[in-house]
């Protein structure tokens, strides 16, 4: 589980393998290869192979919690 405060901006870098994340609480904006999308609880994002997920909890008035599962390493930066 990862918790992000309101206003958080950052990225999750998956250097390879499978990465899946589900929003548990709050709202998360995910910027993928297409346009950005607001994810509400129950929504998910994933990647298979090297990928950079740009995320933001700027729209949320509460902390955002996601469950993240990865078959390898990943890097969270802000």
What pLDDT shows up at residue 35? 84
Class in CATH terms, 2-77:
mainly beta
If you average pLDDT over residues 32-51, what whole number do you get?
91
Q: What band does 58 get if pLDDT is binned at 50, 70 and 90?
A: confident
**Does residue 33 surpass a pLDDT of 90?**
no
What pLDDT shows up at residue 32? 75
**Does residue 60 surpass a pLDDT of 90?**
no
Size of the chain in residues: 78
Residues with Cβ within 8 Å of 17's Cβ and at least 6 positions away in sequence, in order, are: 48, 49, 70, 71, 72, 73
pTM, full prediction: 0.90
Instruction: Kindly list the domain boundaries of the chain, sorted by start residue.
Output: 2-77
């Amino acid at each position: 589980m990862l918790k992000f405060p309101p206003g958080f901006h950052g990225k999750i870098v998956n250097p390879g393998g499978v990465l899946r994340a589900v929003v548990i609480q709050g709202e998360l904006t995910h910027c993928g290869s297409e346009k950005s999308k607001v994810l509400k609880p129950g929504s998910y994002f994933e990647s298979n192979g090297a990928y950079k997920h740009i995320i933001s909890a700027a729209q949320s008035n509460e902390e955002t919690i996601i469950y993240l599962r990865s078959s390898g390493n990943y890097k969270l930066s802000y």
